[in-house]
Amino acid sequence: MAFSVVCTGCAQRLEVADDFPRRKLRCPHCGVMCELPPPGKERAAVSNPVKPKAEKAARPAPQPAPSSPARTVQAAPKGPVPPEPIYEFSSDPDDGKPYGVHGGIPRPCPNCHKDMEPNARLCVSCGYDHETAKAPEKVFEPVEHEWEAGWPFKRRLKYAVLGAIAFFLLGLAGTLASGEWLSFILSWLTFTGMVFFLFGTFDRVNLSRNKRGQVKLHYSWRCCFIEWKSDRVLMKDYDGVVTGRMSEAGILHWALFGFLVLSGVFTSLNIAIGALAAEKIHFLEWLGMIVLMVLGFVPAAITFYIFFVKIEFFTALAAGHGFPALYLYKGWKEEHMNDLAETISKVAVIPLQRG
């Protein structure tokens, strides 16, 4: 005869002969050593288990009287009782199986790297065609703009030349009578240099875009009408355009103002020394000396008004939370500021922040 035991490792039922001599048996399914009852009566009891006697049927409980105030309890419905549901829980929250996605997993566009529908042919962002492996060529409208701070180049040069000629003619009239040619030449050269510096120092900005959408921004700086600096601005280094107002003068402006005042003083002293050396001064000589003395302080007066009185508008490229990193325009025209800032923001597709 044989008896059966249940493996404690895999719950498989194992058949064992009564005359099996050992007290343990290795499960052929999972390899776990299972305990066996000792040979003899214990194995025989496992082989022929005694069936328990049927319990006597309990007598039905007496029904309560109709007049009893107790609640009526409904009897359980007859028929088979449905088994209770079995819930299985896993100790590992991630079973390694991927979750299903409705409609499929989106795939990135090889041209713009944005997600698109799994079965779509064209990318809605850039228009890339997956069947032909080509993206449509987008043609941009060419743009060519140029801005100069303040007056245009030709107007600035015209006024500077006219100022130098006027000073030369007025100084020549007085010098012919006094004969102080060295004083006249030094005064005229100083005045001409200051006038050319004031009128010929300005910024210029060139903005262009070709049909392929490539944007180029050039910034140049002129001093005395001579171009000293011309650089291409890399738009990737900036995150926006900022505008605002300013009226603060720095140390350089004060130094320039002081130099112009000293220039006017030296000019007046040269004229006075020449007049004192002359034996007799005519009316035209007096008039010429007064005009030259006044004109000697004109550059200083213009500089003081520009740097310390007049409010300037500016347009700059911003880097780092709207901080002006590169000034492209400083001047008195608000329309010029707005036109430059709005055009750069639109063409280069960067945000505009108004101050």
Mean pLDDT of 104-116: 78
Q: Could you give the maximum distance between any two Cα atoms of the chain, in Å?
A: 160
C-alpha distances in Å from residue 190, one per residue of 197, 222, 287, 295, 339: 11, 19, 20, 11, 37
Predicted confidence at residue 241, as pLDDT, reads 93
Q: How confident is the model at residue 7 (pLDDT cuts 50, 70, 90)?
A: confident
CB atoms within 10 A of CB 188: 20
Q: How far is CA 5 from the centre of its chain?
A: 73
pLDDT at 104: 62
Instruction: Tell me what pLDDT residue 46 has.
Output: 59
Residue 204 above 80 pLDDT? yes
Degrees (nearest 5) of the Cα angle 168, 174, 180?
Answer: 90
Percent of the chain with pLDDT over 70: 79
pLDDT digits (tens, 9 = 90+) for 84-109: 554 444 455 555 555 555 556 777 88
Tell me, what DSSP letter sits at residue 76?
P
- Summarised one tens digit per residue, pLDDT across range 270-321 is 777 777 776 667 777 777 778 878 878 888 888 888 777 777 888 999 987 7
Work out the mean pLDDT of the chain and round it to a whole number: 77
pTM of the model: 0.45
Token pair for residue 323?
């901080």
Mean pLDDT, residues 121-150: 80
The reported pLDDT for the residue numbered 52 is 47
- Higher pLDDT residue, 23 or 53? 23
Beta pairing, strands 13-17 & 226-233 = unpaired
Range with the poorest average pLDDT among 63-77, 136-150, 250-264: 63-77
- List pLDDT tens digits, range 44-98: 665 555 444 444 444 555 555 554 444 444 554 555 555 555 444 445 555 555 5
- Please report the DSSP string for 121-148 in residue order: SB-TTT--BTTTTB-PPPPPPPEEEEEE
pLDDT digits (tens, 9 = 90+) for 147-194: 887 788 889 999 999 989 988 888 887 777 777 788 888 888 988 988
The mean pLDDT of 233-255, rounded to a whole number, is 84
Which of helix, strand or coil describes residue 195? helix
What percentage of the chain carries pLDDT values higher than 90? 10
Check the CA dihedral 104-105-109-110 and report its sign.
Answer: negative
**Least confident window among 216-225, 264-273, 329-338:** 264-273
Q: How many Å apart are CA 64 and CA 72, to the nearest integer?
A: 9
Q: What is the pLDDT of residue 89?
A: 47
pLDDT at residue 80, rounded to an integer: 59
Per-domain boundaries in the chain? 2-47, 143-233+248-310
Q: Give the separation between CA 100 and CA 117, rounded to whole angstroms.
A: 16
* Residues ≥6 apart with Cβ < 8 Å to 134: 128
Least confident residue range of 108-112, 197-201, 225-229: 108-112
State residue 97's pLDDT score.
58
For residue 317, the model assigns a pLDDT of: 92
pLDDT of residue 70: 45
The separation between the first and the last C-alpha atoms of the chain, rounded to the nearest angstrom, is 102
